[in-house]
Every structure is written in C-alpha cells, then in structure tokens.
Structure 1
C-alpha cells in the first residue's frame, strides 16, 4: 500500500474543504451534483473520444498502481540472475530449463526460454528490446489518459461555469433561482481545476514513475540474460548489474 498517495489525496481535499470552512463558507456549497456531472462526464467523454478502447481500459486498470504499486525488488532480481549464471556455468544453459516452468513473468520466461534453446546473445537482446519497447508504448499510452483528463478538466469546468451563468441570466427576474445557478458556475470551475491538479495530473505523473521503474527492471533482466548467454563470470555479472539497483 502506497501510504504517501493516500495521505496526499486526503491532505489535498481536506485543505480545500477546511479552507472553505475557515473562511466562513458552507461546506455543503462545495457539493453540487450538476457541476460534478458536467465536469466529470465531459472530461471522461473527451478522454474516451481521443483514446483507443484498449488504452482507455488499460489506463483505468493501471490506476490501482497509485495505491497498490507493483513491487520492484532489484536486489532480488540481481540475486536471481547471479544464481542462474552460477547454474549455467556449472551445468550449461540447459540446466536453466527447470526455472522456465516456474517463471510467472511472461517477459522473463520468454528470455529464459530463448536462453535455454541456445539462441545467440544478440538475438536474445533484439527480441527482448522489442518486448521492452512494446511494453513502454502500451503503458505510456494507457497512462496518458490521466494526463489528458488533467488537460480537459479545467476547460470543461469553465464550460460548466458558463452554463451556470447562462442559467443565471435566464432567471434574472426570479431571484430564488439565481443562487443555484451561481453556485453551479463557481463550483464547476473548482471541480475542473481541482480534479486536474489534485487527482488526474498527479496520477499521470506517478504512473509514469512506476512505468520507468518497470522498464528499468526489464532492462536489468535483459542485460543479465544476455550476459549469461555470453558465458560471463557470475561475479562480473553481479558487478555489471549493480548499477541498476535503485
């Protein structure tokens, strides 16, 4: 559980609500269903319009990384690679076949299978580099939906504000309806700007951070498998990959 993400979200929202109360405003005035529907519905619609379905769904699923990020234990990866290198040095590359069946990571399993099958080191490198590039392209496209939402939300908030003001102008002769229209106008702007800067853009930036770490892990595994294929000393492999450890 990523505690700092939870704390940041709570702190950001609490600061706004507390500030409203501190200034003598009514907290209930910050909760306007009409403004919420306009801003969130419009933002989601705009993001869906610009995205492929696969990217949109992947981005929604990836949001769980904000609170439950994927584990990236680089020291464990290094230990695993050194262990494989030692086995390969003693029993040959075929001795690693026992690890293929138990490997759950599709990327690692593919590289390990090529290694056991006796593929040339450069062939392994090219294949895994293509895999890394494909993963990066998919992941960044998925994460981009949150960045896009952060760009659209303020504009949709302004649109909601204009709609609220139109409602006000249409009811100038009925003072009882002016308050609701003005509330929607200003709260829609708060929802647009607030959601962009407190939720959507921070989510996008954090997802990019996790994507970069995952790419780094895959590159470390790639270098390790190629080094084993070249038959290098396990100690040299350990020294070579130590720079990947964050």
Structure 2
C-alpha cells in the first residue's frame, strides 16, 4: 500500500478541518451527506454519460494503483535481460524457453515467447511497440475518465449549493433556520472544489506517472528482447539499456 497517498489525503483534509476549527467554525457543518451525494455520484454519473460501463470499470480498476501502485524495477529488468542475452549467445534462443516461465511480467513472457517461436526480429519489435502503445493508450483513457469526474465536481458543487439555497429560502420566516441553511448550502461548493483538487486531480497525476513508467518499462523489455533475438553482444545491449530509468 502506498502510504504516501494516504498521508497526503489526511494532510489535505486535515488542513481544511483545522482551518475551519481555528476560524471558530463548527466541524459538524462540514459533514453533509446530501452534498457528498450530489458531488460524488453526480460527477460520476455525468462522466458515465460521456463514456461506457466498460470505460468506468477499467478506470476503477486503474484507480487502485493510487493505493497499490505497480512496481517497475528497471535495474532488475536490465540485469535479467543481460543474463538471458549471455545464455542465448552461449546456447541458443530456444534455450531461454525454460527461463521465460520464471518472468513475473506478462508482457515480457509474451515477447520472449514470440521471439522463441521464430518471429522475425523487426516485425516482432514493431508488433511489441504497437502493443505497448495500445496498453498506454488504454491506461490514459482510464485516466481521462477519472479526470473528467474532477472536472464536473466543482459544477455539481455549485448546483448543490443552489439547491441548498432554494431550501434555505423556504425558511425566510425563521432567521435562525435560514442562517443555518445558507451555511449548509455552501458546503456543497466546498465539497466540489475539495473532491476535485484534493482527491481526483492528484490521483490523476499519479496514475499518469505510473502509466508513463509502464510504457518506458515495456520499451526496455522490447529493446532487450529485440537485442537478444538479433544476437546483439550482451555488453553492447547492456550499454543501450542503461538509458532506461
């Protein structure tokens, strides 16, 4: 679990509640279920209208990365590629068939299997690069879905405030109830801004970073498999792969 994400969320929301408390505000006024419903569910519903259930499902699955991030160990991948390159040079490409089963990365396993099966090296590299780009495009499509939720949230917050004010105006004959109603009404605006800028957009930036790391990692694997398939000297291959970080 990514404790940095949790710490950031706690710090961000804690600063809001602390500022409210230091200003003499009541914490209970910041807790409003109707405001949360219109902002969170409303934003998700609006985003779903422009997308599909499939897009939403993939976005929710990708959002898990914010708490349980993927691991892209570039150093380990490079050392593994060099080890396999030496073995392929000493024995043969087919001799790596027993090694690919030990690779934990599905993309790498598929790439090596294609090479062992005799796919022409140039065609293999092109196909793998296309696949890596398609994976990245799917990731970014999910990131865009999540980002759209954050885009709608402030507007839904304003709508929630308007609804709250309409209800508050119904209590014009009761000044005390009117004041409380107006205070609660503006909580929706706070929820909309807070949900977008303290939750959604930071997560979007983090997910985008992970998606870019995954693309770079897959490119390292492709260059490694291509170098092994073409019989490139392991030392030369190692020098070329050192540029990946």
User: TM-score when scaled to structure 1?
Assistant: 0.95
Q: Does 2:34 match 1:41?
A: no
Deviations 1:58-90 (A, max 9, x none): 111222211221111100000110011011101
Partner of 2:183: 183
Q: Post-superposition shift, 1:168? A: 1.9
Partner of 1:81: 81
Deviations 1:112-155 (A, max 9, x none): 01111222111111110121111011111112222111100000
Partner of 1:90: 90
**In 2, distance between residues paired with 1:115 and 1:40?**
47
Secondary structure class of the residue paired with 2:188? helix
- Gapped regions of structure 2 (runs ≥ 5): none
Partner of 1:125: 125
CA contact 1:2–1:69 (8 Å) conserved in 2: yes
CA contact 1:93–1:118 (8 Å) conserved in 2: no
Q: Post-superposition shift, 1:109? A: 1.5
Partner of 2:18: 18
Q: Post-superposition shift, 1:178? A: 1.8
CA contact 2:125–2:222 (8 Å) conserved in 1: yes
Matches within 5 A, 1:1-246: 1-175=1-175, 177-245=177-245
Q: Residues 198 and 68 (structure 1 numbering): CA distance in 2 closer, same or farther, change over 3 Å?
A: same
CA contact 1:34–1:184 (8 Å) conserved in 2: no
Q: Post-superposition shift, 1:176? A: 5.2
**In 2, distance between residues paired with 1:124 and 1:73?**
23
CA contact 2:29–2:184 (8 Å) conserved in 1: no
Q: Post-superposition shift, 1:104? A: 4.1
**In 1, distance between residues paired with 2:48 and 2:176?**
37
Deviations 1:171-201 (A, max 9, x none): 3224454244313321000000011000001
Range that drifts further, 152-161 or 96-105: 96-105
Q: Which runs of 4+ in 1 moved over 4 A?
A: none
* Matched length: 245
Q: CA RMSD in A?
A: 1.4
CA contact 2:220–2:241 (8 Å) conserved in 1: yes
Q: Post-superposition shift, 1:204? A: 0.6
Range that drifts further, 29-38 or 176-185: 176-185
